Amino acid sequence: MQYVRLGRSGLKISRIGLGGFSFGDKAWQSWMLPEAESRPIIARAIDLGINFIDTADMYSNGVSETIIGNIWPDLARREALVIATKAFGVTGPGPNERGLSRKHLFDAIDGSLKRLKTDYVDLYQTHRTDHDTPIEETLEAMHEIVKSGKARYFGMSNILAYELMRVISICEKNGWTKPISVQNHYNLAYREEEREMIPLCQLEGVGVTPWSPLARGFLAGKTTRGGVTGSERAGADPFIQRFFSGDADYDVQDAVRALAEVKGVSMAEIAVAWMLSKPYVAAPVMGATKPEQIESAVRALDISLTADEIAALEAPYKPHPVLLHL
């Protein structure tokens, strides 16, 4: 396993991150994995040297955190892991059990720590932008959560470039802790982050940990031009066809497939290798429903792509509307 600093911080994370979205309650999504089925995946990830485990309090209404919290103590020392979670989503029926208000963030971090069975998280992230709460209130609360020791660092997810620049400016003005990372949607089939967000992150020293590096399985060939699905998730996830169904998207998929055949590796490994070739990507966050999928992601660390191969993968791309920055 390779490790890299996250942004300009001293925190070192594995170049492959394990996402916790798949761990949860089948009543929330039909393809969620209960604890018994999640354990072999988390165990294999840790065995392969993955120390970065990312989840969110709203995944399966907190069940993802509970599963991770039940499993990690059997597998690793707390100091060996980088556990990350996020806040914003609904965690209860009350009007203050959602969003990024001071009240909710203070309640949410305590709830996450209890479910994760830890005294602190290494990285606490805002999951969305809260347009109902002054950004200063959110940032001061995150600063205080870090200073309290309940989180070691804070980051942001699903944020626009102008919002991140405003956040950095406000934190610098007030002497508050600045975000060390951004976790946005980015992969070979969705590259809009290259316009503004990624250059900004490079300029400001903010680490990039993209979610959906396989475009919800699209880049692994889980759907085809004919609409054929190759997994339960691909058949149940409406966002795959909504986001990746144009001719140019399938041209990107074809380019991945062609290079995978030439190199004798899987499509998923090519898609991850492309992401790892980008110096600004610290670690793609990989979801998994089988241990073999984590093994595949780790194998991508050993795949070197030439400049011509990267150009061939990128050539079919056509611009997309900005997605999921809510």
> What confidence tier does 55 reach under pLDDT thresholds 50, 70, 90?
very high
How far is the C-alpha of 260 from the C-alpha of 264, rounded, in Å? 6
- pTM tops 0.95, yes or no: no
Cβ-based neighbours of 162, under 8 Å, separated by 6 or more: 196
The structure tokens 């144009």 sit at 246
Cβ–Cβ under 8 Å, residues 82 and 51: yes
Q: Is residue 225 part of a domain?
A: no
How far is the C-alpha of 188 from the C-alpha of 171, rounded, in Å? 32
Q: Is residue 184 part of a domain?
A: yes
Q: Is residue 130 part of a domain?
A: yes
Work out how many domains the chain is built from and give that number: 1
Residue 109 sits in a domain whose CATH number is 3.20.20.100
Q: Is residue 236 part of a domain?
A: no
Q: Is residue 183 part of a domain?
A: yes
Of the candidate ranges 112-121, 206-215, 280-289, 317-326, the one whose mean pLDDT is the lowest: 317-326
Burial of 95 (0-12, 13-18, 19+ CB in 10 A): exposed
Residues catalogued as catalytic: 59
Q: Is residue 102 part of a domain?
A: yes
How far is the C-alpha of 141 from the C-alpha of 127, rounded, in Å? 15
How far, in whole angstroms, is CA 38 from its chain's centroid? 18
Cβ-based neighbours of 194, under 8 Å, separated by 6 or more: none
Mean pLDDT of 164-175: 98
Q: Is residue 311 part of a domain?
A: no
What is the Cα gyration radius of the chain?
19
Q: Is residue 59 part of a domain?
A: yes
Q: Identify the domain containing residue 199 by its residue range.
A: 3-216+269-304
